[in-house]
Amino acid sequence: MKTMRALLKPVLLTLMALGLSGLSVEAETSRIKDLASIEGVRQNQLVGYGLVVGLNGSGDTLNNAPFTKQSLTAMLERLGVNTRGANLRTANVAAVMVTADLPAFGRRGSRIDVTVSALGDAKSLQGGTLLVTPLMGASGEIYAVAQGSVAIAGFQAEGAAATLTRGVPTVGRIANGALIEQEIEFQFKDTRSVKLALRNPDLTTGKRIASAINEYMAANSAEPTDPSTVNLTIPKNFKGNMVQLLTEIEQLRIDPDQVARVVVDERSGVIVMGKDVRVSTVAIAQGNLTISVTEQPIVSQPDAFSNGQTVVVPRTTIQVDQGANNKLAVLKESVTLKELVDGLNALGIGPRDIISILQAIKTSGALQADIVVM
C-alpha cells in the first residue's frame, strides 16, 4: 500500500500542477461573448412623459411648473372632468420623465423595468403612483406602456430650521413597471451572415477572434473587416441551429490585446495604467518651492501712568522650503508597470504630481503609451 501511494503521489502532484496551470491560462483569456456583441442584437432606449399622483404634498408647485398644470388639466378632460379656468392648487402631482431599455427580442406582453425622474420642482416622489405613460423609441413609435407605484431609495425630512436629505428622493424605479406592446423584428433563421462588433476595437483582437472561430468551425468563415468588426459567414452546408452555433462561438476563449494606455483624471487624481505601459531610460526629479507666511501680531501696552498708547505690533515669520532633500531618480529602460509605480512611490510623490510627471515623460518621448486625460 505504501509503495502504491509513493507511486501515485508524483502523478497527483503533476495533475494538480496541470490543473492549476490550466486555470491560470483560462483566467488570462476572455470569452468572445465578453469581447464582442452580435450586430443587431442590442437594447433600444425608450422615453416617455407622464404624471405621478398620490404624493403627500411633495409634488410640483403648479404656479412654478405650468407643464404640470397643463398635463393635469388635459388628463382630467380625457376622463370627463372639465377644469378649464379653475384655480388648481394641488401639491400631490408631479410631472416626470420615464425611461426604460427595450431588450433584444423583447416579446409583446413581457415586462421591463422603468426609471421615473421628476421634471419640475417636486421635493420627493415617495408614495407616488405613475399613471399610464406611453414609452416611445427614437422613431416616435410607442413600444411599451408604463404604470405602477414608484419606489425610491432616498428620503427628505424638514422642519422649521433644518432639512435632511439622503439619496435622491426625486428619482425612483418601478420594477416590471412597463408592458411591451410592440416588438422589434429580428430573425436569425434566414440569416446567412452576422457581424461581431468588438466592444474595444482592436485589429489584433479581431484577428484572434476570427482565428478561434475558423478553428472551431474547421472553415474560413470568419474574417476581420476593420478594427471593430468581424464578419461571420455561415457555411452553405450548415444545417444546424443558428442560435446554437452562436452560443458555441460566444463561449470560445481568446487572449485579447489592448493598446498601452494611461488614463488620468486631474480633478480627482485618479491614475489607471495598463499592463503594457513601458518607459525608456529617463531621469526624474520632483521638487516644489513652498513659502509659508505666518502672522502673529503682538499687543504693545504703555507703562502705568504714562501718556503712551496701546498699539498692535505686527510679527511675521517666513519659511521657505526649496525641496533640497528631493533627489534625482533614474528609471531604467523598459521598466514594467510595477517598477514604474514603485519608483514613483519611492520618491514620495502624490497622485497629482505623478500625473504631471507622466505627462512630462510622454513629452520627452520616453513613455511608450497613450495618455488619455478625462
Q: For 155-209, how does the pLDDT look when each residue is reduced to its tens digit (9 = 90+)?
A: 666 666 677 777 788 999 999 999 999 988 777 766 778 889 998 888 999 999 9
CB atoms near residue 161 (< 10 Å): 5
Predicted local confidence at residue 117, as pLDDT: 95
Report how far apart, in Å, the C-alpha atoms of 1 and of each of 7, 9, 12, 14 are.
10, 12, 16, 20
Q: Is 233 exposed, middle or buried (0-12, 13-18, 19+ CB in 10 A)?
A: middle
Q: 100: part of which helix (H) or strand (E)?
A: strand 93-102
Contacts with 174 (C-beta within 8 Å, 6 or more apart), sequence order? 113, 114, 116, 130, 146, 148, 149, 150, 151
pLDDT-derived band of residue 101, with 50, 70 and 90 as boundaries?
Answer: very high
Q: Please give the model's pTM, rounded to 2 decimal places.
A: 0.64
Is the pLDDT assigned to residue 224 strictly greater than 60? yes
Cβ(283)–Cβ(347) under 8 Å?
no
Cα(324)–Cα(175) distance, rounded to whole angstroms? 62
Instruction: For residue 293, list its beta bridge partners.
Output: 318
Instruction: For residue 273, list its beta bridge partners.
Output: 262
Predicted local confidence at residue 288, as pLDDT: 54
Where do the domains of the chain lie? 44-180, 193-254, 262-300+310-373
CB atoms near residue 328 (< 10 Å): 10
User: Taking Cα atoms as reference points, which of 232, 205, 249 lies closest to residue 35?
Assistant: 205
Q: 209: part of which helix (H) or strand (E)?
A: helix 203-217
Q: For 149-161, how does the pLDDT look when each residue is reduced to its tens digit (9 = 90+)?
A: 999 886 666 666 6
